[in-house]
């Protein structure tokens, strides 16, 4: 995959504004972003200890939610991924549903299959991978039973 296969996204709803609109409307605004589903991932800042919420494209594999730590193919991992490495307990919001999850990076044996799921949703992931030397992680978010 190369740059000629890249489709620039519409960046009208991005970052903190995306988070705010998603939260205010239970995902009525913001769940679909550039035609693909998004969730809100809340991690604990590894340095600050503060809650940090990021909108991310997601897919599903059974009961698990899948996200990609691409940052557009930047040379370093996104902060939310580094936060999950430090503390894998997190929260997600999908529409109005709020779930506690445990995060893990997909191992090599399953990564290719999960990558294909996600690249099927957002083909730009293949371009992002071509932009960086790092192996972009696929993150599996498994809902925790609270009870």
Please state the domain extents for the chain: 3-143
Check residue 2 and give left, alpha or beta (phi > 0: left; psi -120 to 50: alpha). beta
Rounded to an integer, what distance in angstroms lies between the CA atom of residue 47 and that of residue 27?
A: 29
Beta strands 97-105; 89-94: pairing state: antiparallel
Rounded to an integer, what distance in angstroms lies between the CA atom of residue 75 and that of residue 132?
A: 6
Report pLDDT for 84. 98
For 78-92, give the DSSP string.
-HHHHHHHH--EEEE
Report pLDDT for 1. 47
Give the C-alpha distances (Å, rounded to integers) separating 55 from 40, 43, 95, 125, 138: 4, 11, 12, 16, 16
Report pLDDT for 15. 81
| Low pLDDT (below 50) residues in the chain | 1
Is the CB of residue 55 less than 8 Å from the CB of residue 33?
Answer: yes
- Indicate the fold that domain 3-143 takes in CATH: Pnp Oxidase; Chain A (2.30.110)
């Amino acid at each position: 995959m190369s740059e000629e296969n890249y489709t620039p996204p519409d960046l009208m709803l991005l970052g903190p504004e995306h988070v705010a609109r998603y939260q205010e409307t239970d995902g009525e605004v913001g769940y679909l972003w550039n035609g693909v589903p998004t969730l809100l991932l809340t991690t604990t800042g590894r340095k600050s200890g503060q809650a940090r919420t990021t909108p991310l494209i997601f897919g599903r594999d059974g009961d698990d939610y899948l996200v990609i730590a691409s940052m557009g193919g930047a040379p370093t991992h996104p902060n939310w991924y580094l936060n999950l490495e430090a503390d894998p307990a997190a929260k997600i919001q999908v529409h109005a549903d709020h779930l506690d999850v445990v995060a893990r990076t997909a191992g090599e044996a399953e990564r290719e299959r999960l990558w294909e799921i996600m690249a099927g949703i957002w083909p730009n992931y293949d371009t992002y991978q071509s932009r960086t030397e790092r192996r972009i992680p696929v993150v599996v978010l498994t809902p925790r039973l609270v009870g």
